[in-house]
Amino acid sequence: MTPHVTAASLPPGRAAAPGPADLITIRSACLLGVRVTARAVLNAAEHRRRRSSGLGPVTHPALLRRLLEAPAAGPARDPAWWAETSLLPAGIVRRGGDGRTVTRLLQPPLVLDDVVVAAPRRRELRAVQQASLFAGFAARWAAVTRDALPVTVMLEAAYFGVGLLAPGSRVLLPAAEPDPQPPDEWAWLLAEKAYRRWLAENTAG
């Protein structure tokens, strides 16, 4: 039976972690086709701004790519984009009254910090391989159910930088830091999907 990975299964926080108000736990999310428990740093200002605008997750890769091409601060003069953004929901961009300038408002809602994949007995290798998919996005872990693991699992985890967590969040093998990647629409999309799941888990009723 697949073990249930809970917030208690997450690894100890790293030294550079932000304050507890900004660190959130996503208890069960399907990201990159893998069921994970995740910890993330919430962009609290962006979260408040979206709530005040009535704006939720934005999960259109082409739009996110276009937003990444825009200046992060200040207006861009682009009459074509000004016209294209006329139907966007409020809170994504601000369209100038001159018919030419567009200011990007949207920012990523969070940054993934850790992801943990459940690793039931005799399926640890598969869990390590699934966790390795997150190499460019977060520290990745496999939560195992025993201390004595096959050598192949240990070697695979070490090669891919996947940390191994024993029951009680004991670290059998530390996770590598995420591979440095330039920001792109796919990392942003992953953050939006994680944010969507966090909102669902924390919405009353």
Kindly state the average pLDDT of the residues 164-173: 95
**What digits encode the pLDDT tens for the residues 74-91?**
899 999 999 999 999 999
Kindly state the average pLDDT of the residues 92-103: 94
Q: 72 pLDDT exceeds 80?
A: no
CA separation for the pair 19, 170 (Å, rounded): 22
Lowest mean pLDDT among 9-13, 37-41, 83-87: 9-13
Is the pTM higher than 0.85? The answer reads: yes
Per-residue pLDDT at 181: 83
Q: 204 pLDDT exceeds 60?
A: no
**Beta bridge partner(s), residue 151:** none
Q: 14 pLDDT exceeds 80?
A: no
Per-residue pLDDT at 7: 52
| pLDDT above 70 as % of the chain | 89
CA separation for the pair 83, 78 (Å, rounded): 9
Q: 16 pLDDT exceeds 70?
A: no
CA 65 from chain centre, in angstroms, equals: 17
Alpha helices in the chain (DSSP H): 44-53, 61-69, 79-84, 124-131, 151-160, 185-201
Structure tokens, 79: 């009459």
Helices and strands in the chain, H and E counts = 6, 9
- Non-local CB neighbours of 111 within 8 Å, separated by 6+ positions: 40, 41, 43, 191
Lowest mean pLDDT among 56-60, 109-113, 181-185, 198-202: 181-185
Q: 131 pLDDT exceeds 80?
A: yes
CA separation for the pair 190, 176 (Å, rounded): 20
